[in-house]
């Protein structure tokens, strides 16, 4: 129950902190989840994960190395995702079918790359920590990632047809 409460507090605080920023939505993702974790829990991500995962001193060093590698490899994926979201946001009104097709495929491929990265690191974490603790790690990591994605998605305009339906007061679902 304590863990669920902590995660709910994290979501509320992350949403509040991101909403309080005056920068465009795609720049809001630049908020470092390390800062958010430290603000909510009073510890950095490594310390929080060490406690959550109940790491022994021997596991701690190997885990720290693996976590650093994971966060480093996650960087280019996140940079590409932000660039794609900015492109969509900047060119929203002028996207034709060809551009929309290309952009959508790039977003899907970006998601697939991230899933492959997580799978590679789940294997490493599984060997290092066992399945249960590896699952706990990715549960928290996914929680932070999905919270950020949700916030950004809520800030982006709808694709042309949906946006025009919204302005005209029609339901946003297709019939």
Could you tell me the CA-to-CA distances from 143 to 17, 37, 136, 157 in Å, in that order?
16, 12, 11, 24
User: Taking the mean position of all CA atoms in its chain, how far away is CA 73?
Assistant: 14
User: pLDDT per residue over 32-62, tens digit each?
Assistant: 556 666 766 677 778 878 888 999 988 999 9
User: pLDDT per residue over 75-125, tens digit each?
Assistant: 898 889 888 888 877 776 777 888 888 888 998 999 999 999 999 999 999
- What is the residue extent of each domain of the chain? 2-167
- pTM listed for this prediction: 0.66
Which candidate, 66, 70, 9, places its Cα nearest to that of 40? Answer: 9
Instruction: Give Cβ neighbours of residue 124 (< 8 Å, ≥ 6 apart).
Output: 66
Count helices and strands (H / E) in the chain. Answer: 8, 0
């Amino acid at each position: 129950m304590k863990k669920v409460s902590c995660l709910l507090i994290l979501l509320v605080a992350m949403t509040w902190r991101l909403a309080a920023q005056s920068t465009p939505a795609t720049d809001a993702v630049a908020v470092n989840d390390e800062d958010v974790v430290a603000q909510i829990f009073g510890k950095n991500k490594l310390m929080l994960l060490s406690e959550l995962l109940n790491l022994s001193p021997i596991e701690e060093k190997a885990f720290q190395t693996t976590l650093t590698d994971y966060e480093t490899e996650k960087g280019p994926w996140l940079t590409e995702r932000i660039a794609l979201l900015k492109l969509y946001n900047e060119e929203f009104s002028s996207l034709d079918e060809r551009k929309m097709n290309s952009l959508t495929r790039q977003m899907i491929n970006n998601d697939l790359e991230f899933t492959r990265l997580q799978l590679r690191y789940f294997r490493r974490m599984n060997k290092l920590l066992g399945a249960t603790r590896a699952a706990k790690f990715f549960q928290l990591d996914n929680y932070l990632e999905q919270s950020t994605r949700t916030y950004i998605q809520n800030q982006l305009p709808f694709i042309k047809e949906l946006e025009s339906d919204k302005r005209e007061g029609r339901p946003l679902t297709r019939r």
